[in-house]
Structure formats: structure tokens, C-alpha cells
């Protein structure tokens, strides 16, 4: 073969490589990149359905409409009736800013789009939809409003739920933002140092402080080999670190019950060394710490990193909810629920029913036990402690005349600011219908002072007003 033909073949091979490269890139693009490209909010096709389909309404458990769409002069407009109140639960759906909250998670349901594109195409052919599905939430509008008012503008979060079936009656996170006029204050919201977009109830990871002692207490009860008696002197030295009680009060001779009611740090710190990190950790795992919680909104994992190499100091700090332990308010409400529900932790739910345009319920959510933390006997034992903690311990501010309240306060030291004020509990103790987690972020007050009264007022309102 002469050199010209050899060069021709060389060029031809070059072209082959270029074109095969194009085919390879096109396939690569389709397999690995297309999904993220498609979901770019500049892709006008995403909003085509918005034009054609009237987005479904969202209402509370009693049928009060909270968000709805209307067709005005050919374009569909979304209205949020209550401004700030549902900024984290319902979120928003704006062409300019995208979607968040349930508007994002239930987008396909609200627009009645099938997730499988092919089925969707076929379905659109047979019966083109023009109205999406409605959502009926478990939220009780009045209670939600009450909860937000109780926080009174303070940074923090409240989760109020039914311990038996997991229905969330109120979920508030402050600071929040007004979803009905995002255009006017978008810049302000995005630039705020207080991160108003953060749903603290599901995404906020806080040091739990003493409310974590519920988990430590359960571990202690299960650890049959340890001595539950202890003499508290107000402080103790653990491996060179001085662990102090609140105001360094010496509680004297204590058993587990007494230690829980008085929220004795030295007791739980010392006992945790006998319990050991493995037993404490596995109990925490049962409470869905370090676990993914499936919920209608994305939930961050609470964390107690016991599997690594942690020393006695770290373990003692974890036992009283300090150190590296962090938890979401939702998870803490679920913790209280599990004790209230005889040791069974149910899946929290926010969307009760999906209702199609003909008013038929197409999906009703059922109760789901996601973890059994302990049996009824032990659960009742801890319940008694929580009742006494409210009746005569740190949580007296949460007590209600005529109704027995069970609870646990927490004052979590926060390395980056003032301490968080926590309260978790449930009521009525003999037949729990409400479980709550309240946190006042960097409130600087104790859990008994700051969070407990909020829980009390919310219980009173909820027990009187919610249609269970």
C-alpha cells in the first residue's frame, strides 16, 4: 500500500474515533447526566404540566384549605393562605425559585404525574388530566397556629404528634418566611444569617442535653448487671474531666428513678461507664438515632457516634446528651412517642390522604411501627419517671390540672452560644394522645423554664381542640 493510502486510512480512523466518541458521549450523557440536566429549573418543560394541570390543593385534617391554585387569564397561580405558618411544611412552588417542602416532595401527586414517564404518557393520552390531586394533611390548623404563637418569634421548633398513629398535628420551625410573597423578600431570606429556609424540625441537628437521658435510662434498666444506686456529690471526676450537675447541687443518695426526676448528670455520667458504649449505642439506634427516618419531608439523621474510638469522658458526656450527640426535634418527639406507645415507635406522617379530582381518596396512609424500643413494662417504668419529673421534678412547669403530663426537660450546653431549652413529653399519661418536642434554640434558659410551659399550653390547646 502506498503512503498516500496509508495516510488516508489514518485520517479515516481518526474520523471513526471522533464519531464513535460522539456516540459514546451521547450515551454517557443520557445515562449519567440527563436526569440532573432535566431537573434544572430553567428547563421550561418542567413547567409545562404546571400550565396544563391545575395543581392540587393542600388542606389540614379538618379540610381547611391551606394552599390552592387558581387559573387567572390562562396562567395558573399558586396561593398560600397563611403566609409564614406553613413555610416549612408545605413550602413553596415558584417558577423562579423552584419548589420546597411538600410542594416538592408531592409534586407529582399534586400535578397527577405518574413517575414512570411511559405510563404517564399513556395515561395522558387516555384521560388528559387538567386537575391534580389534593392532599389532606394530618396538621390541625388551629394547633399549628397556636404552636407558632407560643414560640412567639423565638428561634426554635415544635413537633406535636400522635404517639399511637404517628399523625403530626403541628410542626413549626422559626424563623420562617412568607411563602405568599417570595418575590418581594427572596433576597432578604436567602441572605439572612438565621437560615429561615431550614426546617429545624426535620433538618436541625441539636445537642439534646438531658432529654437524651430517656435513652440512657432505658439502657440502664436493660443492663441488669449494674448497681443502680449512687450518691451524688454535685460533681464527679471522669477520667480527668469534671462533670457537674446543674448549679452543682448535690442530690445525695439516688436510685434511677430519683436521678431521672432530678436529671442528675453525675449519676448518668458515672452509670454510662458501666452500661458501656455498645449497649447505650444499640438502645439509641432503636430510637432511630443514626438511622434514616422515612417521612413525608426529608429528615436529617440524628447522630450518636458510638462506634468509633470514644473514651470515658466522651461516653459520659453522650449519656447526658452532650458531646457529639445531636438529634432532630422530630426524632425527639418520636422518642417521647415510643415511650408513650408502650415501647413501639410509629412512623410519623404528615399527609393523611390523597384525594383525586373526583373527591375519591386514592391513598390513605396507615400506621406503621418502625421500631420497637422496649416492651410495655419497661416503657411504663420510664413513663412513671417522666410523670414524676413533671409532677415533682424539673418539669413542673409543664403540669396541667386534671391531666397527667409525662415529660423530660433538657438544658443543652451549646458550644457556639447560649444553651438550648428542651422539653419532650406526652399527655395524658394514662392514655397518651399527644407527644411533643419543644426546643428553643440558644434560649439561655433551662428546659423547665423555657420549653416546658410551651408544651403545657400546647397540650391544653391540643387536647381541647384537636379532632382525634
Cα distances (angstroms) measured from residue 372 to each of 91, 226, 433: 32, 23, 19
Cβ atoms of 444 and 418 closer than 8 Å = yes
**Minimum distance between the CB of residue 181 and another protein, rounded to whole angstroms?**
23
Cβ atoms of 107 and 99 closer than 8 Å = yes
Of 347, 400, 401, 403, nearest to 372 by C-alpha is: 347
Other residues' Cβ atoms within 10 Å of the Cβ of residue 310: 17
Q: Interacting stretch for another protein, rule CB under 8 A, among 14-22, 185-193, 206-214, 444-452?
A: 14-22
Q: Interacting stretch for another protein, rule CB under 8 A, among 16-24, 388-396, 434-442, 458-466?
A: 16-24
Nearer Cβ to another protein, position 76 or 84?
A: 76
Nearer Cβ to another protein, position 29 or 79?
A: 29
Instruction: Spell out, one character per residue from 69 to 108, where the chain touches another protein: x when CB under 8 A holds, - when not.
Output: ----------------------------------------
Q: Greatest CA separation found in the chain?
A: 105
| DSSP codes of every residue in 314-333 | HHHHHHTT-TT-BB-HHHHH
Q: ∠ CA 337-339-345 to the nearest 5 degrees? A: 55
Instruction: Let me know how many helices (H) and strands (E) the chain has, helices first.
Output: 17, 19
Nearer Cβ to another protein, position 95 or 244?
A: 95
Nearer Cβ to another protein, position 4 or 191?
A: 4
Q: Does 242 bind another protein (CB under 8 A)?
A: no
Q: How far is C-alpha 141 from the geometric centre of its chain's CA atoms?
A: 19
Q: Which of 48, 231, 242, 364 binds another protein (CB under 8 A)?
A: 48
Q: Beta 75-80 vs 168-174: how paired, if at all?
A: unpaired
Nearer Cβ to another protein, position 119 or 231?
A: 119
Q: Interacting stretch for another protein, rule CB under 8 A, among 19-27, 88-96, 177-185, 340-348?
A: 19-27
Nearer Cβ to another protein, position 4 or 227?
A: 4
**Minimum distance between the CB of residue 30 and another protein, rounded to whole angstroms?**
5
Q: Mapping DSSP to helix (H, G, I), strand (E, B) and coil, where does residue 453 land?
A: helix
Binding-site size, another protein (CB under 8 A):
36
Nearer Cβ to another protein, position 47 or 468?
A: 47
Q: Which of 27, 114, 190, 192 binds another protein (CB under 8 A)?
A: 27
Of 317, 200, 354, 204, nearest to 304 by C-alpha is: 317
Q: Does 32 bind another protein (CB under 8 A)?
A: no
Residue that is written with C-alpha cell 398535628 in the block: 169
How many CA within 13 A on the CB side of residue 340?
Answer: 31
Q: Which of 18, 225, 237, 431 binds another protein (CB under 8 A)?
A: 18
Q: Does 12 bind another protein (CB under 8 A)?
A: yes
**Minimum distance between the CB of residue 27 and another protein, rounded to whole angstroms?**
7
Cα distance between residue 7 and residue 12, in whole Å: 9
Nearer Cβ to another protein, position 23 or 224?
A: 23
Cα distance between residue 160 and residue 267, in whole Å: 30
Nearer Cβ to another protein, position 17 or 249?
A: 17
Q: Report residue 55 as a C-alpha cell.
A: 395543581
Instruction: Spell out, one character per residue from 107 to 136, where the chain touches another protein: x when CB under 8 A holds, - when not.
Output: ----------x---xx-xx-----------
Q: Give the interface with another protein as residue ranges (CB under 8 A).
A: 4-5, 7-9, 11-12, 15-16, 18-23, 25-27, 29-30, 33-35, 37-38, 40, 42-45, 48, 117, 121-122, 124-125
Amino acid at each position: 500500500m502506498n503512503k498516500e493510502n496509508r495516510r488516508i486510512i489514518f485520517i479515516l480512523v481518526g474520523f471513526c474515533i471522533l464519531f464513535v466518541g460522539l456516540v459514546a458521549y451521547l450515551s454517557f450523557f443520557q445515562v449519567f447526566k440527563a436526569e440532573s440536566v432535566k431537573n434544572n429549573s430553567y428547563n421550561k418543560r418542567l413547567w409545562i404540566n404546571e400550565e396544563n394541570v391545575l395543581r392540587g390543593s393542600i388542606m389540614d385534617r379538618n379540610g381547611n384549605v391551606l394552599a390552592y391554585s387558581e387559573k387567572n387569564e390562562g396562567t395558573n397561580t399558586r396561593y398560600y393562605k397563611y403566609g409564614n405558618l406553613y413555610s416549612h411544611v408545605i413550602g413553596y412552588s415558584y417558577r423562579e425559585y423552584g419548589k420546597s417542602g411538600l410542594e416538592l416532595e408531592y409534586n407529582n401527586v399534586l400535578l397527577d404525574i405518574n413517575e414512570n414517564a411511559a405510563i404517564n404518557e399513556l395515561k395522558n393520552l387516555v384521560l388528559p388530566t387538567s386537575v391534580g390531586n389534593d392532599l389532606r394533611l394530618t396538621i390541625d390548623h388551629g394547633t399549628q397556629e397556636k404552636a407558632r404563637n407560643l414560640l412567639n418569634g423565638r428561634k426554635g421548633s415544635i413537633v406535636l404528634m400522635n404517639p399511637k398513629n404517628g399523625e403530626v398535628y403541628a410542626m413549626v420551625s422559626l424563623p420562617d418566611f412568607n411563602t405568599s410573597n417570595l418575590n418581594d423578600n427572596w433576597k432578604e431570606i436567602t441572605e439572612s444569617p438565621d437560615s429561615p429556609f431550614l426546617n429545624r424540625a426535620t433538618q436541625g441537628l441539636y445537642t439534646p442535653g438531658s432529654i437524651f437521658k430517656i435513652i440512657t435510662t432505658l439502657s440502664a434498666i436493660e443492663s441488669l448487671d449494674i448497681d443502680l444506686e449512687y450518691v451524688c456529690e454535685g460533681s464527679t471526676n471522669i477520667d480527668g474531666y469534671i462533670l457537674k450537675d446543674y448549679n452543682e447541687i448535690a442530690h445525695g443518695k439516688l436510685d434511677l428513678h430519683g436521678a431521672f426526676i432530678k436529671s442528675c448528670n453525675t449519676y448518668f455520667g458515672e452509670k454510662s461507664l458501666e452500661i458501656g458504649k455498645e449497649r447505650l449505642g444499640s438502645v439509641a439506634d432503636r430510637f432511630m438515632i443514626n438511622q434514616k427516618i422515612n417521612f413525608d419531608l426529608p429528615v436529617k439523621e440524628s447522630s450518636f457516634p458510638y462506634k468509633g474510638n470514644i473514651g470515658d469522658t466522651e461516653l459520659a458526656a453522650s449519656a447526658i446528651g452532650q458531646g457529639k450527640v445531636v438529634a432532630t426535634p422530630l426524632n425527639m418527639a418520636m422518642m417521647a412517642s415510643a415511650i408513650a406507645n408502650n415501647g413501639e415507635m410509629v412512623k410519623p406522617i404528615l399527609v393523611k390522604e390523597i384525594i383525586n379530582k373526583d373527591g375519591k381518596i386514592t391513598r390513605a396512609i396507615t400506621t406503621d411501627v418502625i421500631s420497637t424500643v422496649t416492651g410495655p413494662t419497661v416503657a411504663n417504668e420510664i413513663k412513671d419517671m417522666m410523670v414524676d419529673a413533671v409532677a415533682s421534678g424539673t418539669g413542673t412547669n409543664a403540669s396541667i390540672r386534671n391531666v397527667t403530663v409525662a415529660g423530660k426537660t433538657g438544658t443543652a450546653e451549646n458550644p457556639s452560644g447560649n444553651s438550648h431549652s428542651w422539653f419532650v413529653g406526652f399527655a395524658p399519661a394514662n392514655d397518651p394522645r399527644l407527644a411533643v418536642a419543644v426546643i428553643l434554640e440558644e434560649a439561655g434558659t433551662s428546659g423547665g423554664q423555657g420549653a416546658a410551659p410551651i408544651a403545657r399550653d400546647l397540650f391544653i390547646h391540643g387536647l381541647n381542640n384537636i379532632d382525634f
